[in-house]
Amino acid sequence: MKMNQFVIIGLGRFGSSLGKELIKLGYEVLGVDRDEEKVQELSHILTHAVVADATEEEVLRSIGARNFDCGVVAIGDDIQASILATILLKDLGVKKVVAKAVSDLHGRVLERIGVDRIIYPERDMGVRVAHQLVSPNLLDY
Ligand code: ATP
């Protein structure tokens, strides 16, 4: 399935970096964060950026989250918010939901609620760097 439009929930280091890169690659990105400053910083870079609490169903409905091909929940510290936002995106019918996990247990909960892909940023990056270190000719991806 070709992904064209992304909604990113949480514009911390991970969410904002992901959003900027997707924009560079030519995709449409809606960024959502409850912190106005984070939204301000990215408002001229992302296609749209809104200040909102992603744990509120009505909020996600009103921003049209269900129309996006892919939703990325990039909230880490607040595990409850991460889980709620993930379930809401799934229930709204977002085709592919990806979520960041900060621990094994967090990842296991996300798996149980049917997330399509779980990202463990530090762990995944460690694996990637190990491969790059031993295969310097490997194309970066
Ligand atoms: P990173 O490592 O990517 O900087 P982090 O693991 O420290 O992130 P958090 O700081 O918990 O993760 O969350 C990332 C972003 O998600 C923050 O900018 C925060 O304001 C936002 N966020 C947290 N809860 C919500 C929520 N309920 N609705 C919208 N945004 C939220």
d(CA 95, CA 22): 18
Tens digits of per-residue pLDDT, 2-45? 678 999 999 999 999 999 999 999 999 999 999 999 999 999 99
**H/E/C letters for each residue in 43-74?**
CCCCCEEEECCCCCHHHHHHCCHHHCCEEEEC
> Which residue stretches of 1-141 are H helix?
13-24, 36-42, 57-62, 79-92, 104-112, 121-134
Tens digits of per-residue pLDDT, 90-104? 999 999 999 999 999
pLDDT at 3: 73
Ligand 1 pocket by C-beta < 6 Å: which residues?
Answer: 9-15, 32-35, 38, 53-55, 74-78, 81, 102
Kindly give the number of the ligand 1 atom that is closest to the alpha carbon of 77: 11
Residue 64: half-sphere exposure toward Cβ, Cα within 13 Å: 10
d(CA 9, CA 76): 11
The residue length of the chain stands at 141
Ligand 1: residue of 75, 86, 119 to mutate (most ligand atoms within 8 A of CB) is 75
pLDDT at 111: 96
8 Å CB contact between 49 and 114: no
**Percent of the chain, pLDDT > 70?**
95
Question: Where does residue 53 rank: exposed (0-12), middle (13-18), buried (19+ CB within 10 A)?
Answer: middle
pLDDT at 137: 72
pTM of the model: 0.93
Mean pLDDT across the chain, nearest whole number? 94
Is 90 exceeded by the pLDDT of residue 1? no
Residue 51: φ, ψ to 5°: -90, 115
Distance 95 CA to ligand 1 centre (A): 22
Distance 77 CA to ligand 1 centre (A): 7
Distance 134 CA to ligand 1 centre (A): 34
Band of the pLDDT at 135, cuts 50, 70, 90?
Answer: confident
Ligand 1: residue of 7, 41, 50, 77 to mutate (most ligand atoms within 8 A of CB) is 77
Tens digits of per-residue pLDDT, 59-76? 999 999 999 999 999 999
